[in-house]
């Protein structure tokens, strides 16, 4: 018998993955990109070289993002030096070809990251980072690990030897610039002005600042790095949507913005504000039931209506004339003095059948 192959740490055989996302850059002395290149020319050149791919997109930088459909296409696209007569360079995308997940396993607490990475390599794990916590000024290791996989889709679980560990998506905190305190970019790529993270005043750092706290992003009475900031919570939702749905940040931001209510208000609060409140009152003169509303009216003030008194006395102006024959709603501006609020209207008692029979006799 030949030499038996050593199985991976999980005891399972894993088919090696391949990169599916590639960036095509244009090589030009004038720093030209694909912005002004015909999309028909690009599509025909890519299809003629590697076949029909899954998707081709023009990035904001002017480069092309190509998603291939097979391992053969991934191997062919890396060999391309030109599209039609345009010189290019092709390289795998840095982040779209990988994914990060979190596992919790107490049996790995005393093992090093290097050993875990080596043993889990057969399951597509290319990097392992342990989550540490700071307590009393000292970093303490935990049983939580961040695994980087060489595939854009996370597996449901991995097996550390005989231990099965569920894999959940890793959702990092929002990226905040330490220079301008805005979200979405690091300090190295910042073009903004140095701003204090404590008082939101430009021109100095937050070290040693004792001014009143103010947030740069929402103008609230807290620091720019506070997790109670509504802008921070919104960015956290964007990051969560991005990693859970495996989409780009612009797409995730559009989804979150579409689901959020306008001006930060909930649907219930908007309906409550626009919905009128009604009150039932009794007219002190004729004991008629009148329904009044606090909903503002844009119509003109109605004129009073003269109602004849049953006792034959002179007519009195009691109720205003409504613009609609079936409406009994008064505007807020109408004077309701002299009216009594009815909290609960009792139904009149109905005489029993026995009393009715006795009366008939």
Q: What is the per-residue pLDDT across 9-31, written as a single tens digit (0 to 9) for each?
A: 444 445 567 889 999 999 988 88
Which tokens go with 216? 């740069």
**How many residues appear in the chain?**
361
Q: In what order do the strands lie in the sheet with 99-104?
A: 125-135, 138-149, 99-104, 168-169
Query: At a CB cut-off of 8 Å and minimum separation 6, what does 269 contact?
Result: none
Q: Which residue shows structure tokens 């003269």?
A: 306
pLDDT tens, position by position, 314-357 = 444 445 554 444 444 444 444 555 555 555 555 655 555 555 55
Within 10 angstroms of residue 64's Cβ, the number of other Cβ atoms is: 22
Cβ-in-10-Å burial (0-12, 13-18, 19+) of 139 comes to exposed
pTM: 0.57
* Residue in 282, 285, 336 with CA at minimum distance from that of residue 309: 285
Q: Report pLDDT for 353.
A: 52
3-state secondary structure of 102: strand
* For residues 206-229, average pLDDT: 92
What is the rounded distance in angstroms from the CA atom of residue 242 to the CA atom of residue 170?
Answer: 11
Q: Give the CA distances from residue 179 to residues 175, 219, 236, in Å, rounded to whole numbers and listed in that order.
A: 12, 17, 20
Determine which of 181-190, 193-202, 206-215, 287-296 has the lowest per-residue pLDDT on average: 287-296
């Amino acid at each position: 018998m030949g030499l038996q192959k050593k199985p991976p740490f999980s005891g399972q055989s894993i088919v090696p993955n391949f990169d599916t996302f590639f960036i095509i850059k244009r090589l030009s002395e004038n720093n030209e990109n694909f912005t002004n290149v015909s999309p028909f020319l690009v599509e025909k050149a890519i299809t003629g070289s590697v076949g029909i791919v899954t998707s081709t997109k023009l990035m904001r930088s002017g480069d092309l993002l190509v998603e291939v459909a097979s391992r053969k296409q991934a191997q062919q696209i890396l060999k391309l030096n030109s599209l039609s007569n345009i010189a290019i360079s092709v390289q795998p995308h840095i982040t779209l070809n990988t994914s990060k997940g979190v596992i919790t396993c107490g049996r790995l607490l005393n093992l090093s990251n290097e050993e875990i990475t080596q043993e889990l390599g057969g399951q597509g794990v290319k990097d392992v980072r342990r989550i540490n916590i700071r307590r009393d000024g000292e970093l303490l290791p935990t049983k939580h690990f961040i695994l980087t996989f060489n595939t854009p889709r996370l597996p449901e679980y991995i097996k550390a030897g005989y231990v099965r560990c569920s894999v959940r998506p890793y959702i990092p905190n929002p990226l905040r610039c330490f220079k301008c305190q805005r979200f979405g970019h690091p300090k190295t790529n910042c073009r903004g002005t140095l701003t204090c993270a404590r008082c939101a005043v430009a021109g100095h750092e937050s070290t040693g600042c004792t001014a009143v706290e103010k947030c740069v992003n929402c103008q609230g009475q807290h620091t720019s790095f506070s997790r109670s900031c509504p802008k921070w919570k919104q960015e956290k939702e964007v990051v969560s949507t991005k990693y859970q749905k495996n989409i780009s940040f612009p797409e995730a931001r559009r989804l979150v913005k579409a689901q959020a209510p306008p001006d930060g208000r909930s649907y219930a609060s908007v309906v409550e504000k626009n919905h009128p409140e009604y009150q039932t009152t009794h007219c002190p003169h004729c004991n008629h039931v009148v329904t009044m509303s606090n909903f503002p009216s844009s119509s003109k003030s109605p004129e009073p209506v003269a109602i004849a008194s049953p006792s034959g006395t002179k007519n009195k102006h009691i109720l205003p004339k409504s613009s609609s024959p079936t409406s009994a709603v008064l505007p807020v501006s109408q004077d309701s003095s002299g009216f009594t609020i009815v909290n609960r209207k009792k139904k009149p008692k109905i005489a029993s059948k026995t009393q009715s029979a006795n009366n008939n006799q």
